[in-house]
């Protein structure tokens, strides 16, 4: 077996990928709305069925070459729960239960969710920990019985506590004179390294929001520090740079990464920040740099995952409320996004297996992400709701 690619290399590449828009030939919904809806439903059904059959007997999923067990299990579990299944009932209840139990067995004594026999999970574990925490917190409300619920509550509580302790802490002074305490996350706990970066920070932010949705106490300071971190990584152009440490605390124009900026919008929305000036700057930057109704680029599942979330929260009216002076024809809207992305995603699906095979991370990742996008309108899970 080949050595699994390190999580650091994958997510750095995925979060940094961006290219020129390309046309998508021959892609489109049926003219009839009912037929278009059925196309989406059929694609989702096939994708979910593939995830079911690709789950390992012990309950986990993994990426190409046996990598990223924890992250893939969290993301695949979320996709199945977005269908409406949960620990109590539904088509995929058994698969969700097995995934939950497998992750619980993988929790370390300090609260970290990691598969310590896999280099891609243990040597660079914070992404997986975040996605798994989000999944477990989303599953918590539908536990089968009190004993299961109590055990799951303790798992999530310990995971959230680990996330808070793993956050970095730094003092930062903004150009306007404000001095704040900020904190991001890196590939490992801040206690192990001084590295931080935006994509993991957003993953942790959403995981902690999901934990709060489940009734788990999350210190407000932890959330505030992470939002301050994202602000400090924002350039005058409104885009995010890769890492606060790598820029020595000075976010210069020209170093922005559009996918990270997309993720920051989704993360700020998860934290309840919908109308702030910072979120508006990020949204404007994304509008200028990320085309809608155009083709996608290689390795962009990460970008698409977060872009869809923030477009769903915008809906068809919120952009206009944020930018009332703009012509309505120029608004970013969920309807426009779906009309652009849904036909493309359906076209890219393997019609025989139901999986999405693009991207070097593997079909579990691509399938889970695309199923999340196609199921947002179901509004089943609080973390993905408006």
Could you say which DSSP state residue 383 is in?
Answer: G
Distance between CA 154 and CA 156 in Å, rounded? 5
pLDDT of residue 191: 86
Neighbouring C-beta atoms of residue 330, cutoff 10 Å = 10
Return all residues near 138 (Cβ < 8 A) that are at least 6 apart: 78, 81, 210, 213, 214, 381, 382, 383
State the number of CA atoms in the 13 A half-sphere of 246 facing the CB.
Answer: 15
Average pLDDT along the chain, 386 residues, taken 10 residues at a time: 40 37 42 83 98 98 93 98 96 98 96 81 88 97 82 97 96 94 95 88 95 95 95 96 87 91 90 82 93 58 92 95 95 94 94 91 96 97 92
Question: The whole model's pTM is what?
Answer: 0.91
Q: Which fold has domain 7-384?
A: Glycosyltransferase (1.50.10)
pLDDT of residue 29: 56
pLDDT of residue 21: 34
Distance between CA 39 and CA 51 in Å, rounded? 19
């Amino acid at each position: 077996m080949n050595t699994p690619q390190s999580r650091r290399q994958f997510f750095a590449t995925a979060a940094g990928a961006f290219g020129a828009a390309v046309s998508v030939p021959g892609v489109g919904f049926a003219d009839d709305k009912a037929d278009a809806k059925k196309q989406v439903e059929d694609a989702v059904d096939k994708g979910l069925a593939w995830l079911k059959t690709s789950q390992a007997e012990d309950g986990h999923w993994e990426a190409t070459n046996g990598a990223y067990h924890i992250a893939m299990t969290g993301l695949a579990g979320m996709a199945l729960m977005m269908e409406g299944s949960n620990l109590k009932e539904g088509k995929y209840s058994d698969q969700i239960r097995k995934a939950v139990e497998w992750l619980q067995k993988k929790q370390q004594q300090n609260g970290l969710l990691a598969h310590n026999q896999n280099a891609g999970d243990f040597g660079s574990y914070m992404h997986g920990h975040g996605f798994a925490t989000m999944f477990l917190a989303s599953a918590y409300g539908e536990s089968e019985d009190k004993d299961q619920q109590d055990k799951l509550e303790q798992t999530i509580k310990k995971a959230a506590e680990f996330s808070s302790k793993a956050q970095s802490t730094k003092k930062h002074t903004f150009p306007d004179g404000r001095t704040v305490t900020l904190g991001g996350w890196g590939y490992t706990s801040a206690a192990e390294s001084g590295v931080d970066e935006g994509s993991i920070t957003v993953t942790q932010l959403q995981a902690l929001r999901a934990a709060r949705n489940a009734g788990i106490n999350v210190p407000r300071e932890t959330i505030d520090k992470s939002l301050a971190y994202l602000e400090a990584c924002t350039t005058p152009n409104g885009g995010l740079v890769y890492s606060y440490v790598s820029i020595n605390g000075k976010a210069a124009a020209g170093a922005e990464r559009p996918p990270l900026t997309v993720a920051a919008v989704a993360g700020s929305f998860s934290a309840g920040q919908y109308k702030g000036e910072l979120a508006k700057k990020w949204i404007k930057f994304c509008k200028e740099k990320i085309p809608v109704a155009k083709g996608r680029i290689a390795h962009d599942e990460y970008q698409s995952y977060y872009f869809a979330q923030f477009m769903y929260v915008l809906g068809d009216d919120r952009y206009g409320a944020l930018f009332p002076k703009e012509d309505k024809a120029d608004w970013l809207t969920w309807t426009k996004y779906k009309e652009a992305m849904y036909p493309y995603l359906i076209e890219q699906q393997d019609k025989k297996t139901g999986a999405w095979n693009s991207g070097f991370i593997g079909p579990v990742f691509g399938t889970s992400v695309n199923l999340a996008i196609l199921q947002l309108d179901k509004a089943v899970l609080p973390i993905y709701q408006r």
